[in-house]
Structure 1
């Protein structure tokens, strides 16, 4: 299976929507949360608190997601990526207590099974987030490990001073890391007949997103992918790698890396030049496995990263340029819930606020732009599978420029130009591509503008902070085709 034609919609289930007309008060009464849970109303914001922010609950659940599948499809997304849904005392569920069940506050396994069925009926794929690097300190394996020094589970973890000092993710005592040097851990969780991977792939999910793939390492990621594909060759295994991800391209089907993200924001902030941006992207592409790159997430924000509109200080034109890059650079655009309506929010927990469902608070200009870009990406195959050509070698004038083109269908190409400065730009751009025909009309996909190509070049005119996507216009000459024998 390929995800190249996908637009992914990421959901933090606890904050997306409450199903069945319930409220958090209703769910608290049903004893669905730990006794120390802090109940929050949907129209409130999370509170910044080191002691309570992981245990503030608004009530979102899987039935709520099912009720909004039509909304997700209307935006143009055709894959839902869920952050973890496992039983856990936290709101984020990256601290699993069990890997083979769904948290009761989310509706349990019956709701998850129904989600898979309903999503597939709508033509929407399901990608599931699994944190295999660490577990909750309340996980039965860890509890047995610290209770009994002779338990086999003691060696499922790395103790430096048993039983109180042990390896934890980023040093956290709440998230003990699994000891994958122990072969039994690999068999139990990954390769065995009753492993976590076996369980969820057989459930019918379309993809797995491995949390902390950089901590798991390339070798273990490869073992996980091999196991998943031995059950279903079509399932995809993605990995979260915060850093430059080239070394993980041979062990996963796709990556979630922040290299694109940081490059985009650094350029729009003026921290690096447009030429440096082009060099960054070209370097990654030159070292990447092309198939993996085309199946990797292009992200602007997430539950771990402040929302894009906040990152850009609310500047809509810069936001739209970031979106254009997200949707047109090699890879799969991944929308973080609420971005499409203009939600803002800084770092955790403010980037995890409840989804805004009051349409009077939506930014309709942003929604419309998302829908436009989703349509462009899903109808222009160069943005799904095409090659990349950077123009930074030919211009260093505050304009980001590149081209996507299909080697097997030369008429399928698009030229992306973004003026990130507050001054007008008029310049001549030579494009070393054999199918920029003299007098060929090029249409801007974001307006009704049409320009004519000359002999391997175009004359570009961009007002301050303007952006364009040019593609061959199929009515350049009446009764004539530039591409008739190509």
Structure 2
């Protein structure tokens, strides 16, 4: 890595800031009718006349003056009260400055009128369980992880593959190429997960099916015998929990396989209860399939009997697998965005709330995560799905920043190659999507650098150095980091099917220990810092080739710098670090250096640097801060 000698760029610490973290919001989950204290920090150089809070109550905006409560060397802190009159209460700040006013919302500061879509939000809905904020989720595609059963007989639909075979990328056999991985194989390698620092094991479907991915279930009543059956899942769950980890299942609430017991009964008898479980048409093949796939008939939740069997109550499919001996700690829901939606019917939110109520009845600490490949905002108010797979707000923007300029990897779901974009464009996209969901939802969204449906990260970026930059974002950005098994050892693949490679337990040529060491170090970094797990997010530098941000709690501030290439560097104000504090380097080789005018961010790259710039309580009120200058207003 070579430093660039050039004029240092500006920073964003001169802008007012608010987010939904504990530093700025007194009560993250208030009761209806409760008053919540919200704080906003305004840099001392802005010379504002005052600050007002704009709250929307019963669809009508109301303004009230915020109170100046503290002045520090760097900021003035204002407080205001938000009455939570509606289950979802939105608000933003008006900053009164010379020559006009500006609006501060989730996307930033604006000197023009803005819509309510990106306003900050308080909700009365309980967030995802606290354990998810501190957990690395490890996704396992059972057929490709490890073989534990040596004498299994493959079904007639399967095409046997050797463990070292390269997966098919497209065409005939993609879904029937079977390697024979199973749940006892997962059990045998749990120590690898412990060494990596995994907190949650997420298994793609384990129900019997006629494909290697098993999203075409033929039953929800048993574990596929090819995977070891019910006993294997119970044994795995027990072993996972004994190691202090959790385990999540994967369920298709949107559809079944064409060979499912329910669909077989529905086709055989028009008067059967199961007949109402599906959508029927006069066109071939006579029923509605997911994305017109005849192998995946779509479920119709206007049928009360389907609701009872699938999602409502302890005896439902959702419920029974959360209870002992399987004791799943929650579900990832396949194509959740389409569940209950067809033509003029939209039951998605009702279904999500029902699933969540069923889970809470059995395990109040269970988590519910929705698959959603595009804009999940309208579905993520927090009363149904706890979080979503964050492709739109994290995966896609990050990919576009870290992708190798010479890469031919296609953009997922689009008829074009993945473009390489600037840090400014990446951050703009992230802020756009993050701002339309409540903070406590954003703070637990599943952030990923790949999954069983995408190309592999190493193929996308081309080098270990850029894998580290991408992983640095994954482990320091708000949300729950999710890792697809194999990424931690440098697995490669050009698309979702091709990326479903086997774990090379006995093949050192396919096992990149240096990559594993990077992921293990970043997992340890995150787990050792409250700020990185639950802190707020304040952007500090956003340039083409580098971004930096602060993660902050009331008791800790961590500065993160990620660079994809050498850049100009930046000078940050001296007040960033409280008097007497020596910034501690938590990750990377460069110290945060002091100059007469402030702190210098290094212009080296590619690289990841993390510093703890504060480990004491931040004074934000009149009882602990410097005396507020009330005359300022």
Report the TM-score, using the length of structure 2 for normalisation. 0.69
Q: Using the alignment, how far apart are the partners of 2:545 and 2:567 within structure 1?
A: 10
Instruction: Give secondary structure in 2 for the equivalent of 1:53.
Output: coil
Q: Using the alignment, how far apart are the partners of 1:240 and 1:448 within structure 2?
A: 37
1:265 aligned to which of 378, 399, 409: 399
Partners of 2:589 and 2:609 within 8 A in 1: no
Aligned equivalent of 1:50: 171
Aligned equivalent of 2:571: 428
Q: Using the alignment, how far apart are the partners of 2:422 and 2:567 within structure 1?
A: 17
1:454 shift after superposition: 6.6
Partners of 2:585 and 2:612 within 8 A in 1: yes
1:233 counterpart = 2:364: yes
- Deviation track 1:249-269 (CA, whole Å, cap 9, x = no partner) reads 222112112011000011224
Q: Using the alignment, how far apart are the partners of 1:336 and 1:12 within structure 2?
A: 8
Instruction: Give secondary structure in 1 for the equivalent of 2:606.
Output: coil
2:269 aligned to which of 135, 145, 148: 148
1:292 shift after superposition: 2.1
Q: Using the alignment, how far apart are the partners of 2:536 and 2:224 within structure 1?
A: 42
More helix by share: 1
In 2 relative to 1, CA 285–18 (structure 1 residues): closer, same or farther, beyond 3 Å? Answer: same
Partners of 2:577 and 2:614 within 8 A in 1: no
Two-structure CA RMSD over aligned residues (Å): 2.3
In 2 relative to 1, CA 271–49 (structure 1 residues): closer, same or farther, beyond 3 Å? Answer: closer
1:331 counterpart = 2:474: no
In 2 relative to 1, CA 276–36 (structure 1 residues): closer, same or farther, beyond 3 Å? Answer: closer
1:403 aligned to which of 528, 540, 550: 550
1:352 shift after superposition: 0.8
For structure 2, the 5+ residue unaligned runs are: 1-128, 340-347, 404-418, 626-633
1:36 aligned to which of 157, 172, 183: 157
1:61 shift after superposition: 0.6
2:455 aligned to which of 294, 301, 306: 306
1:463 aligned to which of 604, 612, 622: 604
1:360 shift after superposition: 2.0
1:54 shift after superposition: 1.2
1:214 counterpart = 2:362: no
In 2 relative to 1, CA 383–359 (structure 1 residues): closer, same or farther, beyond 3 Å? Answer: farther
1:114 shift after superposition: 0.5
1:440 shift after superposition: 3.4
1:9 aligned to which of 138, 142, 155: 138
Instruction: Give secondary structure in 2 for the equivalent of 1:277.
Output: helix
Aligned equivalent of 1:478: none
Aligned equivalent of 1:255: 388
- Deviation track 1:308-347 (CA, whole Å, cap 9, x = no partner) reads 11122x2222211110111111111111011111110111
- Deviation track 1:385-420 (CA, whole Å, cap 9, x = no partner) reads 11001125xx535211111111x32xx121111222
Aligned length: 463
- Deviation track 1:14-51 (CA, whole Å, cap 9, x = no partner) reads 1100115x2xxx322xxxx3213211111111234533
Larger radius of gyration: 2
Q: Using the alignment, how far apart are the partners of 1:193 and 1:332 within structure 2?
A: 28
Q: Using the alignment, how far apart are the partners of 2:365 and 2:180 within structure 1?
A: 33
Instruction: Give secondary structure in 1 for the equivalent of 2:259.
Output: coil
Aligned equivalent of 2:585: 444
Q: Using the alignment, how far apart are the partners of 2:314 and 2:543 within structure 1?
A: 56
Q: Using the alignment, how far apart are the partners of 2:590 and 2:570 within structure 1?
A: 17
1:473 shift after superposition: 7.6
In 2 relative to 1, CA 208–36 (structure 1 residues): closer, same or farther, beyond 3 Å? Answer: closer
Instruction: Give secondary structure in 1 for the equivalent of 2:263.
Output: helix
Q: Using the alignment, how far apart are the partners of 1:212 and 1:200 within structure 2?
A: 20
More strand by share: 2
1:146 shift after superposition: 1.6
- Deviation track 1:347-368 (CA, whole Å, cap 9, x = no partner) reads 1321112111135222121111
1:98 shift after superposition: 1.0
Partners of 1:441 and 1:452 within 8 A in 2: no
Instruction: Give secondary structure in 2 for the equivalent of 1:351.
Output: coil
1:93 shift after superposition: 0.9
Aligned equivalent of 2:354: 223
1:224 shift after superposition: 1.1
Task: Provide runs of 4+ in structure 1 moved above 4 Å.
Answer: 452-457, 481-486
Instruction: Give secondary structure in 2 for the equivalent of 1:450.
Output: coil
Aligned equivalent of 1:202: 323
1:464 shift after superposition: 3.2
Report the TM-score, using the length of structure 1 for normalisation. 0.90
Q: Using the alignment, how far apart are the partners of 1:218 and 1:375 within structure 2?
A: 37
Instruction: Give secondary structure in 2 for the equivalent of 1:262.
Output: helix
